[in-house]
Structure 1
């Protein structure tokens, strides 16, 4: 029979085979997932192939780790690593021991998450203005998480320690390919329960792949659209998912979420007692100050009966003065009223109309007389003007034997030079006209010659 070897021997054989194969460092590239620092300073993560189903565990020891390398090792980052494959016998696994990290850009998963985050942020799902305030004293707290995990126990213990609140669990799968749909259905079921004041969506810590369900778009939209305030408590403080941005509040851990939601009754009672004591002391101080002020006022005022008597005397004096002034005022007003009545009677409408009628009649007679005189003077002026006009009339000249000679156009002739031989003429007499023709034109110097 073939001789069997021990597990330790098998591990040493495996380690020698890998050491012989990787005498020199090799470069490998892929996408980082599940990055986590160790307490001793080493850095562990998984390098995943983006084109096929293949992964390898990677460790960078503290002696090789630089701050720049630590910054480059992030979940979803594409990197190129230099190192050697080795076998770690205590755990029976192979791992890639890297000593150098170079960036190759963001991984496909990280890029997809970044695009989804930008899309949802552009739609306003992460807007702080749309976030709902948490209730101050919720009676029923809904919890969406695993039925068997530590999250529900932590939340229940914290709530009980802080004074109690009714915890309503909607169990869901929080890891794996069906986790997003399971959490979304549980959240929708709690939203339909009447009386649920606030909902905690939580799970414990894990790798980035374990928390990937809480980056699902449908789940993020369900959290943002929930009518009840939602607190996201996914992973640890360093873990950030898209549900953290969409929720109305974020807690670093499920226990912190319970502390955030359930008020501490002991602290509330202590605060109430402290405020009550302060209020009581303030009231006593206020009463003391008011009593002191009242004593000062009493001493300043003295006996109120003396003050009332003095004021009553003053009132009597003012009443007498008022009555006297009122009598004088009534007398003056009576006299003024009599004077106004006399003036009013003098201006009575009947009397005023009679005076005006008499004035109008006299004015009418004066107007008629003035009109007759004006007409007489006008007739006289017209007679004189008519006599003057008659004296200047051409007809009067014609009556004395003169005549008027007109040319063919009817214009009166004043000079012989205005016509020529053969022109027709009209000679106007006092009675009738004569028609003539110019036989000759005599110059002015020859007038009278034969």
Structure 2
């Protein structure tokens, strides 16, 4: 049976020294590297200095060691929070299995380099849209509870709370005290920001800090903090430094205040000013209402002064008189027409009477009719129509008599 390779099987394991030695050889092949970070710890021994180099954008760090003289001869004083660039060789200590970076050169990051890096980050965040004004959340007019992130017992905390309480005494605060500079500032501020954003009663969050150097304000231009502000659902107000200071969190926040005092003035209304405004609005609304009432009264007076409303029956009276005249004229015309027609009928009746057979009979004339056996009568026109024995009916003015014809003579 073939013997397995060392370290590849539980039957043929490597001893600890073999693993440690191989790791040390592998790490040793990395050679010298340049690394950048913030100093968080600095411990000086007799001949050696031990430090922790932290990445401000992530929760990662490295143990670093160097000769004590390298710290003493550094071109700039080194302390916790200093941004540095180091050149060193990775080392793995086989005795205890620890890793360290043995430093041979230290350079402090200058202000110009810091500003250049901030500018590059600003362009990156701007390209991603984190500064877009359309994404800014509106600040509530009267927040019930204000979340405040600031240093413990700092002037910024005192200014914000004093000014806000003086303007609106009923305002409440949810304070989160953090460090506001140095290597631990970013993680603490981000944690406080997420904690306040999760509180449903917090209406607005204020990040406040007084002025300082570019290095002091460097945490407020950190990419992690900027993205955390952008991810908040609660409006965030940045009140970092003084008017000339402009860290990147000012551009990401929903509102930028020049100072902590300015932040308190911009998020909390002034009670006296609001009461004065209410009085002025009430006075103006009352004056506007009175003017409107007077204007409407004048309109009503003008309407009432019009003839149609001043004498509403005048139009009816005028029409009634016109109707009476028309009725009189119609009655007169009808009477005249009736009289004319009556007279014409009288004339026609007289003519009819004159020309009719009754008048002729009244003068002594008679109408003779032959009567047939059937009873039918016919006017006698000739003597030939009445031979002897013909029955006759003689009509006179007051009646008719019967006779019998004896023939012609």
TM-score normalised by length of structure 2: 0.50
3-state SS of paired residue (1:201): strand
Work out the CA distance in 2 between the residues paired with 1:290 and 1:265: 37
Work out the CA distance in 1 between the residues paired with 2:143 and 2:319: 66
Partner of 2:76 in structure 1?
Answer: 55
2:202 aligned with 1:181: no
Q: 1:226 to 1:304 in 2, by over 3 A?
A: farther
Partner of 2:27 in structure 1?
Answer: none
2:179 aligned with 1:158: no
Q: 1:138 to 1:291 in 2, by over 3 A?
A: same
Task: Provide Cα deviations, 1:201-259, integer angstroms capped at 9, x if missing partner.
Answer: 01111111111111111101011111011110001111110100100111111010000
2:134 aligned with 1:122: no
Q: CA deviation at 1:303?
A: 3.7
Q: 1:193 to 1:312 in 2, by over 3 A?
A: farther
Select the structure with the greater relative contact order (CA < 8 A; seq sep ≥ 6). 2
Q: CA deviation at 1:293?
A: 2.1
The root-mean-square deviation of aligned C-alpha atoms, in Å, is 3.0
Partner of 2:154 in structure 1?
Answer: 149
Give 5+ residue unaligned stretches, structure 1: 1-51, 57-75, 77-104, 318-450
Q: CA deviation at 1:144?
A: 0.7
Equivalent residue for 2:276, pick from 262, 267, 270: 270
3-state SS of paired residue (1:107): helix
3-state SS of paired residue (2:116): helix
Give 5+ residue unaligned stretches, structure 2: 1-72, 78-82, 84-109, 325-409
Q: CA deviation at 1:110?
A: 2.2
Structure with the larger helix share: 1
Task: Provide Cα deviations, 1:19-62, integer angstroms capped at 9, x if missing partner.
Answer: xxxxxxxxxxxxxxxxxxxxxxxxxxxxxxxxx94228xxxxxx
Work out the CA distance in 1 between the residues paired with 2:153 and 2:74: 30
Equivalent residue for 1:246, pick from 249, 252, 263: 252
Work out the CA distance in 2 between the residues paired with 1:143 and 1:307: 79
Answer whether contact 2:111 2:214 (CA < 8 A) is retained: no
Q: CA deviation at 1:169?
A: 0.5
Equivalent residue for 1:287, pick from 273, 286, 293: 293
Q: 1:271 to 1:311 in 2, by over 3 A?
A: farther
Task: Provide Cα deviations, 1:370-408, integer angstroms capped at 9, x if missing partner.
Answer: xxxxxxxxxxxxxxxxxxxxxxxxxxxxxxxxxxxxxxx
Answer whether contact 2:150 2:179 (CA < 8 A) is retained: yes
Answer whether contact 2:111 2:215 (CA < 8 A) is retained: no
Q: CA deviation at 1:199?
A: 0.7
Equivalent residue for 1:208, pick from 207, 214, 236: 214
Work out the CA distance in 1 between the residues paired with 2:75 and 2:133: 41
Work out the CA distance in 1 between the residues paired with 2:244 and 2:215: 15
Partner of 2:387 in structure 1?
Answer: none
3-state SS of paired residue (1:291): helix
1:88-107, aligned counterparts within 5 Å? 107=112
Work out the CA distance in 2 between the residues paired with 1:312 and 1:190: 84
Q: CA deviation at 1:180?
A: 0.7
TM-score normalised by length of structure 1: 0.46
Partner of 1:400 in structure 2?
Answer: none
2:205 aligned with 1:199: yes
Work out the CA distance in 1 between the residues paired with 2:74 and 2:223: 24
Work out the CA distance in 1 between the residues paired with 2:202 and 2:76: 44
Q: CA deviation at 1:172?
A: 1.3
Q: 1:143 to 1:303 in 2, by over 3 A?
A: same
Q: CA deviation at 1:137?
A: 1.3
Answer whether contact 2:178 2:185 (CA < 8 A) is retained: yes
Equivalent residue for 2:233, pick from 214, 227, 233: 227
1:164-175, aligned counterparts within 5 Å? 164=169, 165-175=171-181
Q: CA deviation at 1:134?
A: 1.0
Partner of 2:224 in structure 1?
Answer: 218
Q: CA deviation at 1:107?
A: 3.1
Work out the CA distance in 1 between the residues paired with 2:193 and 2:121: 21
Work out the CA distance in 1 between the residues paired with 2:214 and 2:281: 46
1:249-260, aligned counterparts within 5 Å? 249-260=255-266
1:65-104, aligned counterparts within 5 Å? none
Q: 1:111 to 1:309 in 2, by over 3 A?
A: same
Q: CA deviation at 1:108?
A: 2.6
Work out the CA distance in 2 between the residues paired with 1:116 and 1:53: 28
Query: What count of residue pairs does the alignment treat as equivalent?
Result: 222
List structure 1 segments (4+ residues) > 4 angstroms apart after TM superposition: 310-314
2:136 aligned with 1:131: yes
Q: CA deviation at 1:128?
A: 1.1
Q: 1:116 to 1:311 in 2, by over 3 A?
A: farther
